[in-house]
Amino acid sequence: MNNIEKTENIFTHFEKFIKLSESLKSELSKRIKPIVFKKGELVLDANNISKKSYFINKGILRTYFIKDGKEISEYFSGKGEWVNSPNSFMQRELDIYYIDAIEYTEAYFITAYDLVYLFDNFPEMERYARLSMGTVFGHLMDRITSIRFTTAKEKYIHFQKTYSTIHHRIPLGMVASYLGITQETLSRIRAEK
């Protein structure tokens, strides 16, 4: 990824929420760096503090935790989305979440230190954070409702809508753990279509 490609992609994302001044564009260009992850690569180990937030340009990252020796998928992030371990990133402490690459992934990252600098020096970044987090909050509320009040089939339909552009690229075992059902149940639901 060259620098022009990097800045244009990231600027387009930010401009969905805020107007970017030339000085903010310059600071973003200095502080956001490209990174590539191979399929299966561990992006964040729960034994480390999340010091970077990743913006996906291409590919899929999965956030998960381990319970009783099993990986439980918490959410998936695709093109145009940020991902980190939120509590760890913001509080600078250990959390339960791991992040890995489901497929080859091109991303950009910003460190917590650089993000704080941007918040301190560019008030519009606070507006960006509020507006973009509103989208995440809505998604989480939908997920909680789906988990608590729907059948396995309805959970799967909700999953397909939520991840409409990437659901077909996520391995079934990861989908089943996200939905809280067995892979056999998921296979039966998919066969009913």
Q: What is the CATH number of the domain that holds 20?
A: 2.60.120.10
Contacts 24+ apart (CB under 8 A), 151-155: 152/179, 152/181, 152/185, 152/186, 152/189, 153/189, 153/192, 155/179, 155/180, 155/181
pLDDT band at 7 (very low <50, low <70, confident <90, very high): low
| In a domain? residue 57 | yes
Query: Residue 6: is its pLDDT beyond 80?
Result: no
Q: What is the mean pLDDT of the chain?
A: 88
Using CA atoms, how far apart are residues 93 and 37, in angstroms rounded to an integer? 24
Query: Residue 167: is its pLDDT beyond 80?
Result: yes
| In a domain? residue 176 | no
The whole-number pLDDT of residue 5 equals: 53
| In a domain? residue 179 | no
Our count of domains for the chain comes to: 1
List the structure tokens of 6: 């990097």
DSSP state of 106: E
| In a domain? residue 169 | no
Higher pLDDT, 39 or 5: 39
Which domain range does residue 28 map to? 3-122
| In a domain? residue 117 | yes
- Mean pLDDT is lowest, of 93-102, 127-136, 151-160, for 127-136
| In a domain? residue 165 | no
| In a domain? residue 180 | no
DSSP state of 168: G
Using CA atoms, how far apart are residues 127 and 161, in angstroms rounded to an integer? 28
pLDDT, tens digit (0-9, with 9 covering 90-100), for 75-97? 899 998 899 988 888 889 999 99
